[in-house]
Amino acid sequence: MRKLICFAFIMLTLSGTHARAEMPVVAAPEEAHATMLASPDPQLAANKRLVYDFWRKVFEAGHLELAEDYLSESYIQHNPNVPTGRQAFIDFFAKIKSPRPIEPVIKMPLVAMIAEGDLVLLCFVRQEADPRNPGKTYTTSWFDMFRVRDGRIVEHWDPAEKR
């Protein structure tokens, strides 16, 4: 039996990309957002709600006048393209975002929301051009992680590379 398992593993490994084809990343339905926001720990639920509302009101809808309700003045930004500090965040996004109606749910394709301690992580579907197949795309995941302290977002990480 052990030899059969080893043989099967070797055959799958040698058979090329067909055995290793990636599965597409799929967003959770909007109805699942309420479940993602829930937590038996009231502090974790509050941290999730803070980040969720920041994302939909400030980031997606571009209501930068609400940034002080969500970001600490000394907000630390780890994205190499966005400056640190609440006012620097506002100034940066004021150049590229215009206010739009605030939606009741996050519109980016949200896969999961996780909170642990003072951290909240949002995971999204991201679609990219397929470098091996011009004209085609593939899905992958993207994350944004936030540290929350005293009811404000104090720090942010994502996998962005310098542009």
How confident is the prediction for the chain on average, in pLDDT?
Answer: 90
57 lies in some domain: yes
Is residue 55 a part of any domain in this protein? yes
pLDDT in tens, 28-80: 999 999 999 999 999 999 999 999 999 999 999 999 999 999 999 999 999 99
Whether the pLDDT of residue 98 is over 70: the answer is: yes
- Confidence (pLDDT) at 1: 46
Q: Would you say residue 10 lies in a domain?
A: no
pLDDT at residue number 22: 78
- 3 domain-assigned: no
Query: How much is the average pLDDT of 7-31?
Result: 63
Classify residue 9: in a domain, yes or no.
no
Residue 19 maps to a domain: no
Q: How confident is the model at residue 17 (pLDDT cuts 50, 70, 90)?
A: very low
Quick one: pLDDT at residue 73?
Answer: 98
Give the range of the structural domain holding residue 61, as residue numbers without chain letter.
Answer: 32-157
Q: 11 in a domain, yes or no?
A: no
Residue 23 included in any domain: no
In this prediction, residues 108-127 reach a mean pLDDT of: 97
Domain count, the chain: 1
Q: Give the pair of three-digit tokens for residue 122.
A: 């949002």
Q: Rounded distance, CA 115 to CA 33, Å?
A: 14
Please report which confidence band the pLDDT of residue 4 belongs to, taking 50, 70 and 90 as the band edges.
Answer: very low
> What's phi and psi for 76, nearest 5 deg?
-105, 130
* Higher-pLDDT residue of 99, 7: 99
Residues 6+ apart with CB under 8 A from 156: 75, 76, 77, 78, 79, 144, 145, 146, 147
User: What CATH number did the domain enclosing 114 receive?
Assistant: 3.10.450.50
Confidence (pLDDT) at 11: 39
Sheet holding 119-129, edge to edge: 71-77, 152-157, 137-149, 119-129, 110-116
Q: What is the pLDDT of residue 20?
A: 53
